[in-house]
Structure formats: C-alpha cells, structure tokens
Amino acid sequence: MRVVRDLMGMPITVDVRDPDPPASAVAEAFADLAAVDQTFSPFVAESAVSRINAGRLQPSEAEPLVQEVLALCRRYERATDGYFAAWIAGRLDPSGLVKGWAIARACAILDRHGCQNYFVDAGGDVQTRGWSEPWIPWRVGIRHPVEKDKVTRVIRATGLAVATSGTYEKGAHILDPHTGHPATELLSMTVVGPDILEADVYATAAFAMGRRGLDFIERLPGVEAYAIGPDLVASWTAGFDAYCEAAAPA
C-alpha cells in the first residue's frame, strides 16, 4: 500500500509492503501528520508557532504537544553546541526538528497497528522499517545537489533513517544560529542513523557547522554522514561506506 499526499509543504509518502496492511493505519498516520502541520506550521495563522511569534501565545502556556517539541529543541540545542536552535532573532522556528519528529510519530502509529515493512518519506527525509521485499533492503538515494535527476550515493536501509539538509529546493535558507547568517560552506549534509528525529536535527546542525559538521557527526555513536561542498566534492565519515551499495564518490 503506497499513499502520497501533500502536507507540511511537501509530498509525504507512506509505503507499507506487508501483506494486507490495515488501511486504517495509513489513514491514522496521515491524520496525525496533518494535525502536526496545523500546530507547527508558520504558514497557518492560528498555529501555535504563528501565535507565539505574534505574541498571542506564551510558550509556557502552549499545549502539551508544543511543550514536548520545545523541550526537545532545548535538548538538541545543548547537544549541538547551539548549532541547532529553534529560536533565532527572537522568532520560533522548530521546523528543523518537527519534520523528523512528525515522521517518528507516523512510524509509531504504523508500528502500533502491526506494520513491519514500510517507509515514511517526508520531503526526502526517510525512516525505514524491515524490508522492501523479503530480505531486500530499502534503497534510499542521496540526490545530487545540482543535477536533479542524479543521485550521488545509494544507501541500503533496513531500520535506518536518512535525513538531508541543504540548498536543494530553498537555496541558502539554513542559518548559523551563532551569526544569524545563512550557512554556505556546504551544499548538502546527509545523516544516517537509526532514528529519524536525531538524523533530521543532526543534519540541520551539521550543515550549519559547515565542514566541521562531519567531525561533529564522527563523534556520535551509531550515526554517519555524507557532505557535498560547493565544489561538488564529497566527503564522509569513517563508517558511512558500510551503509552504501558502492563506495564510489560523488
């Protein structure tokens, strides 16, 4: 069962390969994704994020779901030496965490319904479970940052998350929270690990760090990364090749 819908400003795909997967599981996952969008989108006038930024809602008075995300943002700001930050120049933007968090919530719903072999893809950030076919891993490509019809590497993913931050669609939109200026040392940073929330956050933070981002990821257990610079030269962490179909560079 494969369902694609436009939510959160991007195409989101849920692909379940189990025999006779419950349609209610996929419907519930998309309903939750839609609810997350209504709560956190800065483009929805009555979302919690919009009301906080307009001064109509104090963060301390927000609903428990918002409190959970804000607590996670504070946790990962500390874990990344401030290179992941939900507050920049006085405005709240938790989008660097919310997408991965929303994918994780959708996966938890599918897990609760007994789904075992599936992936959830939100705008290129992917969490996989099980196999695409019996004993065949999911194949997740890292898109070339310039040639949109090409991929630079293919990851064999079973129970893995893959998240990429970069200039693919929105240009230089990721800010270095320490300077307030766009991060421009890289074109893309892809992080691979077991958990999509952490992969998403660490991809954003490592991109903001620039070339030092790979050193940061190298120190994290169970997480690998692949970066492409403006010269289109790729570099990666020591364990990254083990996840890939081939060890050829971009």
Domains of the chain: which residue ranges?
2-243
**77 pLDDT higher than 80:** yes
Alpha carbons 125 and 136: distance in angstroms, whole number = 20
**75 pLDDT higher than 90:** yes
Q: How many CB atoms neighbour CB 195 within 10 A?
A: 18
Closest listed residue to residue 187, CA positions, set 202, 169, 206, 167: 167
DSSP state of 68: H
Angle between helices 95-112 and 23-40 in degrees, nearest 10: 160
How many helices (H) and strands (E) in the chain? 6, 12
- Terminal CA-to-CA distance of the chain, rounded, Å? 33
pLDDT for 171 equals 58
**In angstroms, how far is CA 87 from the centroid of its own chain?**
18
2-243 maps to CATH 3.40.50.1820: no
Rounded percentage of the chain residues whose pLDDT exceeds 90: 90
pLDDT for 169 equals 64
Contact 247, 155 (CB under 8 A): no
Report the relative pairing of strands 91-92 and 87-88 from DSSP bridges: antiparallel
Taking CA 93 as the corner, what is the angle to CA 88 and CA 96, rounded to the nearest 5 degrees?
105
Q: pTM for this structure?
A: 0.94
Any idea which of 31-35, 84-88, 167-171 has the lowest mean pLDDT?
Answer: 167-171
